[in-house]
Structure 1
């Protein structure tokens, strides 16, 4: 991942409490500058059966330099057997916001 050095990562969990706990952990550890929580509905196939469940989406703002640690932290605390966790680079953005994200996630 390149560009501004910023990433947006995405995962989801079953409950608001799980989402809040994970979000707080990531921000408190300096692995994310901000995590947005949103109630969603997911349709997916699991073990051959189509499921539909409410979930909480976490949109995580961080940096490429913290990605490995962020990924490890999410996977260590995630309640799912197979959590979705993806990230994509943010090639452009408001300069002051980019600086803030970098400051919040500086190790």
Structure 2
């Protein structure tokens, strides 16, 4: 585990209403080098939230997007452009530590965004 190598790596979490939307976003952000890797959690997660004053319950698909801090603004714009929700979830958490080789690959994978 190498905390120093993780200093600017991030995980963005995004929920999607369907597997098709999740896959569309995942493909686009990796293709554009805004993310090194996206995991699509294929088993729906059950989400509870309020929307327009009502308690809602929905089955959603979770994206776990690995990127670096320098790509976050473009990544967020791309997620919003492709997403079908008015207010898509886009939450970012730091990667505290990880395999040095993996983190190096992650950084190299997003060096030249399209």
Q: In structure 1, list runs of 5 or more residues that go unmatched.
A: none
Q: Aligned partners of 1:65, 1:100: CA distance in 2, in Å?
A: 15
Q: Aligned partners of 1:21, 1:73: CA distance in 2, in Å?
A: 11
Per-residue CA distance 1:13-61 (angstroms, 9 max, x = gap): 1000000010000000000111111121111111111111111110100
State how many pairs are aligned.
105
Q: In structure 2, list runs of 5 or more residues that go unmatched.
A: 1-5
RMSD (Å) for aligned C-alpha atoms: 1.0
Identify the match of residue 71 of structure 2 among 62, 66, 69: 66
TM-score (norm 2): 0.88
Q: Aligned partners of 1:96, 1:4: CA distance in 2, in Å?
A: 14
* 1:36 and 2:72 correspond: no
1:49 maps to 54
Q: Aligned partners of 1:43, 1:68: CA distance in 2, in Å?
A: 27
State the secondary structure of the residue aligned to 1:27.
helix
Q: Aligned partners of 2:100, 2:8: CA distance in 1, in Å?
A: 12
